[in-house]
């Protein structure tokens, strides 16, 4: 499980530690600890950390130069460290107001720890806690796998097992799948082949998700799967619009923390029984398929938002879809290919603008008369009437199918 800065405060060895500033960042994840004995080279410290560490300093080497401390906080905040613990004693007797204001601005936690607290006890306690939480996360992964991917005879036993770790599976849940968009292409584009670097990106992706969700949920079940993170979202006290906002925030943070990457989020329906969560997971997968078909990357969508795709994606026989698609648009596609024209695009825009000739002409940057000529030609080639609601519905359906086939075959 993710360890956050605020969790560290609950450990017995830190009962005298105080949050001096940066309270808004207490949800930052702590991956490990790092000690900087002498602060005379900020760059040297920053080069030794990777991100996620909780940094401990005594102030040796500062010599009252709090400008260096301010520079350190700016640098380690930018490198996504968890926070800074300052031993209050002979080298730093108190944290200046300017430093507190800076930490609050950056939402970067700064803690005051009395000098008499042994450093070895402090770091040992955190490391043990992190290891314990990592073990729990492995157990949680197994729990989520059992819920979503395996058949189980006794839901009651699963509910009791989850309760031992503080998870209430008697609540209503919905499944969200947060999937990195075109991750393989991103790796190829940036020539990233090193497995360690790839794992680091995925770890950052997972931590970003947890960092946002932990602001709204005390405990939440999730697991990683390939380029995705699967989340069991509890609905108690939150409506779907609130969930939508939380997931939108998650997507924005992913863009900020993983430069050049975005994520699409598919959300299944709400269910009250854990035996039905497999269905919510399948629905979330269908949502992601629809987002890919429509090239709607970097977005969040719920199963109930799918519209006609809810039906079309249930058709497993692509032969049926192909047959309908080519029956409706085959002649027009052939005409465009032979004559190097764009009548398919014209028709698609016309239908997407609810058959508005004015809006379609504006989008195509052509005169109304030119559009009228094209539409008459389309009617002749497709043997249809664009004033007929039924014909327009069939043609729209063909374009929906085109999106599905394009993702798989075309």
Q: What is the pTM of this model?
A: 0.75
- Residue 40 is predicted with a pLDDT of 62
| 182-211: pLDDT as tens digits | 999 999 999 998 887 888 888 889 889 988
Cβ–Cβ < 8 Å for 27, 5: yes
Each residue of 113-131: b (16+ CB within 10 Å) or e?
beeebebeebbebbeebbe
Nearby residues of 290 by Cβ (< 8 Å), 6 or more positions away? 266, 296, 301, 306, 309, 313
- Residue 377 is predicted with a pLDDT of 97
- Residue 204 is predicted with a pLDDT of 85
Cβ–Cβ < 8 Å for 193, 186: no
Cβ–Cβ < 8 Å for 247, 220: no
Q: How far is CA 402 from CA 10, 66, 329, 393, in A?
A: 55, 62, 10, 14
Give the Cβ contact number of residue 388 at 10 Å. 12
DSSP 261: -
Give the Cβ contact number of residue 206 at 10 Å. 18
What beta strand segments (E) does 261-314 contain?
A: 263-267, 300-302
Length of the chain: 410
- Residue 68 is predicted with a pLDDT of 86
Sorted by where each starts, the structural domains of the chain and their CATH numbers stand as 5-126 (3.40.1390.20), 151-312 (3.30.70.270), 318-408 (1.10.10.2840)
- Chain centroid offset of residue 213 CA: 10
Bridge partners of 174, per DSSP, are 233
Positions in the chain short of pLDDT 50: none
- Residue 96 is predicted with a pLDDT of 92
Give the Cβ contact number of residue 281 at 10 Å. 22
Cβ–Cβ < 8 Å for 209, 1: no
Cβ–Cβ < 8 Å for 86, 92: yes
CA–CA dist 65, 386 (Å, integer): 76
- Residue 38 is predicted with a pLDDT of 63
DSSP string, 162-198: HHTTT--TTS-EEEEEEEETTHHHHHHHTT---HHHH
- Residue 335 is predicted with a pLDDT of 97
């Amino acid at each position: 499980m993710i360890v956050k800065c605020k969790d560290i405060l609950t450990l017995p060895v830190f009962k005298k530690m105080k949050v001096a500033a940066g309270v808004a960042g207490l949800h930052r994840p702590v991956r490990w600890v790092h000690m900087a004995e002498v602060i005379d080279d900020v760059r040297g410290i920053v080069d030794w950390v990777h991100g996620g560490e909780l940094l401990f300093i005594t102030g040796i080497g500062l010599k009252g130069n709090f400008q260096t401390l301010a520079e350190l906080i700016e640098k380690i905040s930018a490198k996504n460290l968890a926070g800074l613990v300052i031993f209050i004693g002979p080298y730093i007797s108190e944290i200046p107001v300017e430093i507190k204001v800076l930490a609050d601005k950056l939402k970067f936690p700064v803690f005051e720890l009395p000098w008499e607290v042994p450093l070895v006890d402090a770091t040992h306690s955190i490391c043990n806690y992190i290891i314990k939480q990592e073990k729990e996360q492995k157990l949680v992964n197994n729990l989520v796998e059992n819920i979503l991917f395996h058949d189980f005879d006794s839901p009651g036993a699963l509910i009791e097992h989850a309760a031992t770790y503080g998870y209430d599976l008697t609540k209503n849940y919905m499944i969200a799948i947060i999937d990195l968009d075109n991750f393989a292409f991103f790796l190829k584009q940036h020539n990233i082949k090193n497995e360690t670097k790839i794992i680091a990106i995925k770890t950052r992706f997972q931590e970003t998700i947890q960092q946002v969700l932990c602001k709204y949920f005390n405990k939440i079940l999730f697991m990683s799967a390939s380029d995705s993170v699967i989340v069991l979202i509890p609905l108690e006290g939150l409506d779907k619009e609130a969930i939508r906002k939380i997931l939108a925030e998650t997507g924005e943070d992913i863009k900020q923390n993983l430069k050049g990457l975005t994520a699409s989020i598919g959300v299944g329906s709400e269910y009250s029984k854990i035996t039905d969560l497999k269905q919510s997971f399948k629905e979330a997968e269908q949502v992601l398929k629809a987002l890919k078909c429509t090239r709607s990357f970097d977005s969040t969508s719920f199963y109930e938002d799918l519209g006609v795709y809810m039906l079309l994606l249930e058709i497993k026989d692509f032969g049926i879809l192909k047959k309908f698609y080519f029956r409706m648009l085959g002649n027009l596609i052939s005409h465009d290919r032979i004559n190097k024209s764009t009548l398919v695009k014209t028709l698609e825009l016309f239908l997407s603008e609810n058959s508005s000739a004015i809006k379609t002409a504006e989008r195509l940057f052509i005169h109304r008369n030119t559009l009228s000529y094209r539409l008459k030609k389309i009617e002749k080639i497709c043997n249809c009437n664009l004033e007929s609601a039924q014909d327009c519905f069939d043609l729209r359906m063909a374009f929906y199918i085109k999106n599905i086939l394009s993702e798989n075959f075309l």
